[in-house]
Protein backbone atom coordinates (compact mmCIF):
# COMPACT_ATOMS: atom_id res chain seq x y z
CA UNK A 1 0.00 0.00 0.00
CA UNK A 2 2.83 2.30 0.95
CA UNK A 3 4.57 1.71 -2.37
CA UNK A 4 1.41 2.31 -4.37
CA UNK A 5 1.50 5.90 -3.16
CA UNK A 6 4.86 6.55 -4.79
CA UNK A 7 3.19 7.90 -7.87
CA UNK A 8 5.73 8.60 -10.46
CA UNK A 9 5.22 12.09 -11.53
CA UNK A 10 7.24 13.30 -14.17
CA UNK A 11 8.49 11.12 -16.86
CA UNK A 12 7.24 11.05 -20.42
CA UNK A 13 8.53 8.83 -23.15
CA UNK A 14 8.35 10.27 -26.65
CA UNK A 15 7.49 7.76 -29.34
CA UNK A 16 7.13 8.96 -32.91
CA UNK A 17 4.76 11.87 -32.66
CA UNK A 18 2.84 10.60 -29.68
CA UNK A 19 3.66 11.26 -26.03
CA UNK A 20 3.00 8.56 -23.47
CA UNK A 21 3.32 8.92 -19.72
CA UNK A 22 5.01 5.94 -18.16
CA UNK A 23 6.11 4.87 -14.72
CA UNK A 24 9.81 4.10 -14.63
CA UNK A 25 9.78 3.37 -10.94
CA UNK A 26 8.51 0.01 -9.72
CA UNK A 27 5.33 1.36 -8.15
CA UNK A 28 5.19 4.98 -9.20
CA UNK A 29 2.40 7.03 -10.78
CA UNK A 30 1.86 10.41 -12.37
CA UNK A 31 3.68 13.60 -11.40
CA UNK A 32 3.26 17.36 -11.41
CA UNK A 33 3.45 19.19 -14.70
CA UNK A 34 6.09 21.31 -16.32
CA UNK A 35 4.74 23.27 -13.99
CA UNK A 36 1.07 23.18 -13.56
CA UNK A 37 -0.01 26.73 -12.79
CA UNK A 38 3.24 28.04 -14.26
CA UNK A 39 4.14 30.90 -16.58
CA UNK A 40 6.52 31.00 -19.53
CA UNK A 41 10.18 31.52 -18.67
CA UNK A 42 12.15 34.20 -20.51
CA UNK A 43 15.00 33.25 -22.83
CA UNK A 44 18.17 33.07 -20.74
CA UNK A 45 16.34 33.18 -17.41
CA UNK A 46 17.40 29.65 -16.40
CA UNK A 47 20.26 28.85 -18.78
CA UNK A 48 21.23 25.74 -16.84
CA UNK A 49 17.99 23.93 -17.76
CA UNK A 50 18.25 20.82 -19.93
CA UNK A 51 15.63 18.82 -21.79
CA UNK A 52 16.42 15.12 -22.23
CA UNK A 53 15.14 13.11 -25.18
CA UNK A 54 13.64 10.32 -23.05
CA UNK A 55 11.09 12.83 -21.76
CA UNK A 56 12.78 14.13 -18.61
CA UNK A 57 14.41 17.33 -17.45
CA UNK A 58 17.77 18.04 -15.91
CA UNK A 59 20.26 20.75 -15.00
CA UNK A 60 23.88 21.34 -15.95
CA UNK A 61 25.98 20.16 -13.02
CA UNK A 62 29.06 20.77 -15.14
CA UNK A 63 29.49 21.97 -18.72
CA UNK A 64 29.43 18.35 -19.86
CA UNK A 65 27.40 16.65 -17.10
CA UNK A 66 23.64 16.75 -16.53
CA UNK A 67 22.11 16.02 -13.12
CA UNK A 68 18.73 14.30 -13.44
CA UNK A 69 16.59 11.63 -11.71
CA UNK A 70 17.57 7.97 -11.38
CA UNK A 71 14.12 6.87 -12.52
CA UNK A 72 14.72 8.61 -15.86
CA UNK A 73 17.50 6.20 -16.83
CA UNK A 74 17.69 2.43 -17.04
CA UNK A 75 21.04 1.97 -15.34
CA UNK A 76 24.73 2.89 -15.37
CA UNK A 77 27.23 2.46 -18.19
CA UNK A 78 28.04 3.64 -21.67
CA UNK A 79 24.99 5.21 -23.31
CA UNK A 80 24.83 7.21 -26.54
CA UNK A 81 21.04 7.14 -26.91
CA UNK A 82 20.15 10.30 -24.96
CA UNK A 83 20.07 13.73 -26.57
CA UNK A 84 20.29 16.78 -24.31
CA UNK A 85 18.81 20.05 -25.55
CA UNK A 86 20.12 23.26 -23.98
CA UNK A 87 20.33 27.00 -24.53
CA UNK A 88 16.68 27.71 -25.33
CA UNK A 89 13.25 27.96 -23.75
CA UNK A 90 11.60 27.04 -27.08
CA UNK A 91 12.41 23.41 -27.92
CA UNK A 92 11.72 24.13 -31.59
CA UNK A 93 14.14 27.05 -31.77
CA UNK A 94 16.89 26.85 -34.38
CA UNK A 95 19.25 28.14 -31.68
CA UNK A 96 18.86 24.98 -29.59
CA UNK A 97 22.11 23.20 -28.79
CA UNK A 98 21.77 19.41 -28.93
CA UNK A 99 24.45 17.12 -27.54
CA UNK A 100 24.40 13.33 -27.31
CA UNK A 101 25.24 11.40 -24.16
CA UNK A 102 28.25 9.11 -23.79
CA UNK A 103 27.72 7.61 -20.35
CA UNK A 104 25.16 7.39 -17.55
CA UNK A 105 25.79 6.93 -13.84
CA UNK A 106 22.71 6.10 -11.77
CA UNK A 107 22.77 6.46 -7.99
CA UNK A 108 24.31 3.34 -6.44
CA UNK A 109 21.68 1.32 -4.62
CA UNK A 110 18.70 2.97 -6.35
CA UNK A 111 15.67 0.66 -6.19
CA UNK A 112 12.71 2.97 -6.79
CA UNK A 113 12.55 4.42 -3.28
CA UNK A 114 14.81 7.37 -2.46
CA UNK A 115 18.27 7.92 -3.98
CA UNK A 116 16.56 9.34 -7.07
CA UNK A 117 19.51 10.98 -8.84
CA UNK A 118 21.67 10.23 -11.85
CA UNK A 119 24.38 11.88 -13.93
CA UNK A 120 24.58 11.96 -17.71
CA UNK A 121 27.94 12.63 -19.36
CA UNK A 122 27.74 14.63 -22.59
CA UNK A 123 29.90 14.06 -25.68
CA UNK A 124 31.08 17.68 -25.55
CA UNK A 125 30.72 20.62 -23.14
CA UNK A 126 28.02 23.22 -23.75
CA UNK A 127 28.54 26.94 -23.40
CA UNK A 128 25.91 27.53 -20.73
CA UNK A 129 26.09 28.36 -17.00
CA UNK A 130 25.96 25.46 -14.57
CA UNK A 131 23.69 25.19 -11.52
CA UNK A 132 25.43 24.89 -8.16
CA UNK A 133 23.99 22.23 -5.84
CA UNK A 134 23.26 22.60 -2.12
CA UNK A 135 25.78 20.92 0.15
CA UNK A 136 23.96 21.63 3.43
CA UNK A 137 20.31 21.79 4.52
CA UNK A 138 20.51 25.56 5.09
CA UNK A 139 18.42 26.35 2.00
CA UNK A 140 15.92 23.49 2.28
CA UNK A 141 13.08 25.77 3.41
CA UNK A 142 11.32 28.84 2.08
CA UNK A 143 10.01 29.31 -1.45
CA UNK A 144 11.49 27.37 -4.33
CA UNK A 145 11.38 27.73 -8.10
CA UNK A 146 10.63 24.82 -10.43
CA UNK A 147 10.85 24.80 -14.21
CA UNK A 148 10.33 22.32 -17.00
CA UNK A 149 8.80 21.35 -20.31
CA UNK A 150 6.47 18.75 -18.81
CA UNK A 151 2.69 18.67 -18.87
CA UNK A 152 0.82 21.81 -17.85
CA UNK A 153 -2.13 19.71 -16.70
CA UNK A 154 -2.30 16.22 -15.22
CA UNK A 155 -2.22 13.72 -18.07
CA UNK A 156 -1.25 16.37 -20.62
CA UNK A 157 1.62 16.33 -23.12
CA UNK A 158 5.02 17.97 -22.99
CA UNK A 159 5.26 21.68 -23.64
CA UNK A 160 7.14 23.47 -26.38
CA UNK A 161 8.14 26.34 -24.10
CA UNK A 162 9.83 26.20 -20.71
CA UNK A 163 7.43 26.98 -17.87
CA UNK A 164 8.28 28.13 -14.35
CA UNK A 165 6.51 28.45 -10.99
CA UNK A 166 7.19 29.04 -7.32
CA UNK A 167 6.27 26.48 -4.68
CA UNK A 168 6.56 26.72 -0.88
CA UNK A 169 8.30 24.24 1.39
CA UNK A 170 6.14 21.54 3.01
CA UNK A 171 7.43 19.99 6.23
CA UNK A 172 8.46 16.34 6.35
CA UNK A 173 5.72 15.66 8.89
CA UNK A 174 2.98 17.15 6.72
CA UNK A 175 4.30 15.39 3.63
CA UNK A 176 4.56 12.09 5.48
CA UNK A 177 0.93 12.43 6.55
CA UNK A 178 -0.11 13.20 2.96
CA UNK A 179 1.57 10.08 1.60
CA UNK A 180 0.77 7.63 4.35
CA UNK A 181 4.33 7.28 5.55
CA UNK A 182 5.94 6.58 2.15
CA UNK A 183 8.28 9.59 2.26
CA UNK A 184 11.98 8.98 2.94
CA UNK A 185 12.62 12.13 5.05
CA UNK A 186 16.40 11.81 5.06
CA UNK A 187 16.51 11.67 1.26
CA UNK A 188 13.43 13.60 0.07
CA UNK A 189 12.07 17.14 0.30
CA UNK A 190 8.49 18.28 -0.33
CA UNK A 191 7.04 21.47 -1.78
CA UNK A 192 3.69 22.73 -3.01
CA UNK A 193 0.40 24.26 -1.93
CA UNK A 194 -0.79 21.53 0.40
CA UNK A 195 -4.24 23.03 1.14
CA UNK A 196 -5.18 24.22 -2.33
CA UNK A 197 -2.95 22.52 -4.89
CA UNK A 198 -2.90 24.25 -8.26
CA UNK A 199 0.87 24.63 -8.75
CA UNK A 200 3.28 21.74 -9.17
CA UNK A 201 5.62 19.88 -11.47
CA UNK A 202 4.16 17.09 -13.63
CA UNK A 203 4.66 14.37 -16.25
CA UNK A 204 7.76 15.23 -18.24
CA UNK A 205 9.35 17.28 -15.44
CA UNK A 206 11.11 14.34 -13.79
CA UNK A 207 14.78 14.98 -13.20
CA UNK A 208 14.46 18.74 -13.44
CA UNK A 209 15.79 20.99 -10.68
CA UNK A 210 14.02 22.70 -7.79
CA UNK A 211 16.12 25.72 -6.88
CA UNK A 212 16.23 29.01 -4.97
CA UNK A 213 18.60 31.92 -4.42
CA UNK A 214 21.40 31.55 -1.89
CA UNK A 215 22.61 34.36 0.38
CA UNK A 216 24.76 35.73 -2.44
CA UNK A 217 21.80 35.89 -4.81
CA UNK A 218 22.94 32.96 -6.98
CA UNK A 219 20.67 30.09 -8.00
CA UNK A 220 21.21 26.94 -5.94
CA UNK A 221 19.66 23.53 -6.62
CA UNK A 222 18.04 21.98 -3.56
CA UNK A 223 15.88 19.30 -5.17
CA UNK A 224 15.32 17.02 -8.16
CA UNK A 225 11.77 16.39 -9.43
CA UNK A 226 10.98 12.85 -8.30
CA UNK A 227 7.40 11.75 -7.56
CA UNK A 228 3.96 12.55 -6.20
CA UNK A 229 0.26 11.78 -6.49
CA UNK A 230 -1.06 13.26 -9.72
CA UNK A 231 -0.25 16.86 -10.56
CA UNK A 232 -1.02 19.87 -8.40
CA UNK A 233 -3.68 18.04 -6.39
CA UNK A 234 -4.71 19.54 -3.06
CA UNK A 235 -3.33 17.45 -0.21
CA UNK A 236 -0.45 16.02 -2.26
CA UNK A 237 2.72 18.11 -2.53
CA UNK A 238 5.47 17.35 -5.01
CA UNK A 239 8.29 15.17 -3.70
CA UNK A 240 11.88 15.99 -4.64
CA UNK A 241 15.22 14.30 -4.09
CA UNK A 242 16.99 16.22 -1.32
CA UNK A 243 20.15 17.24 -3.15
CA UNK A 244 22.17 18.19 -0.06
CA UNK A 245 21.90 14.62 1.22
CA UNK A 246 23.67 13.34 -1.88
CA UNK A 247 25.97 16.28 -2.67
CA UNK A 248 29.13 14.41 -1.72
CA UNK A 249 28.09 11.25 -3.59
CA UNK A 250 27.17 13.31 -6.66
CA UNK A 251 30.53 15.08 -6.63
CA UNK A 252 32.40 11.79 -6.27
CA UNK A 253 30.38 10.20 -9.07
CA UNK A 254 30.91 13.18 -11.38
CA UNK A 255 34.66 12.93 -10.87
CA UNK A 256 34.60 9.43 -12.39
CA UNK A 257 32.83 10.43 -15.60
Active-site residue (options: 29, 64, 101, 116): 116
In a domain, 49, yes or no: no
In a domain, 163, yes or no: yes
Active-site residue (options: 23, 29, 64, 71): 71
Ranking 7-21, 83-97, 184-198 by mean pLDDT, the lowest is 7-21
The count of domains in the chain is 1
pLDDT recorded at residue 27: 33
Residue 14 has pLDDT above 70, yes or no: no
Q: Is 23 a catalytic residue?
A: no
Distance, CA of 40 to CA of 242 (rounded, Å) = 26
Question: Residue 91: which pLDDT band, with cuts at 50, 70 and 90?
Answer: very high
In a domain, 182, yes or no: yes
Q: Is 94 a catalytic residue?
A: no
Ranking 10-19, 113-122, 186-195, 208-217 by mean pLDDT, the lowest is 10-19
pLDDT recorded at residue 25: 33
In a domain, 229, yes or no: yes
Containing structural domain, residue 181: 132-244
In a domain, 226, yes or no: yes
pLDDT digits (tens, 9 = 90+) for 124-159: 999 999 999 999 999 999 999 999 999 888 888 889
pLDDT digits (tens, 9 = 90+) for 32-83: 334 788 899 999 999 999 999 999 999 999 999 999 999 999 999 999 999 9
In a domain, 94, yes or no: no
Q: Report the DSSP beta bridge partners of residue 75.
A: none
In a domain, 197, yes or no: yes
The CATH number linked to 191 is 2.40.10.10
What would the mean pLDDT of 193-208 be, rounded to a whole number?
94
Query: pLDDT over 90 for what percent of the chain?
Result: 82
Query: pLDDT over 70 for what percent of the chain?
Result: 87
pLDDT recorded at residue 19: 26
In a domain, 62, yes or no: no
Q: Is 116 a catalytic residue?
A: yes
Question: Residue 10: which pLDDT band, with cuts at 50, 70 and 90?
Answer: low
Active-site residue (options: 23, 29, 101, 206): 206
Residue 116 has pLDDT above 50, yes or no: yes
Distance, CA of 251 to CA of 61 (rounded, Å) = 9
Mean of all residue pLDDT scores within the chain: 88
pLDDT recorded at residue 36: 83
Amino acid sequence: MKQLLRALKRCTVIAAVALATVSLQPTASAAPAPVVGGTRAAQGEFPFMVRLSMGCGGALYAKDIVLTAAHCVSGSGNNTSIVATTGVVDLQSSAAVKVRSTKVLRAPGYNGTGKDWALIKLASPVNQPTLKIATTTAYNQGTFTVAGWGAATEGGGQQRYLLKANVPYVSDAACQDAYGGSLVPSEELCAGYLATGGVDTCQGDSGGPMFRKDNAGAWLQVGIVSWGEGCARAGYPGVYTEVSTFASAIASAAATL
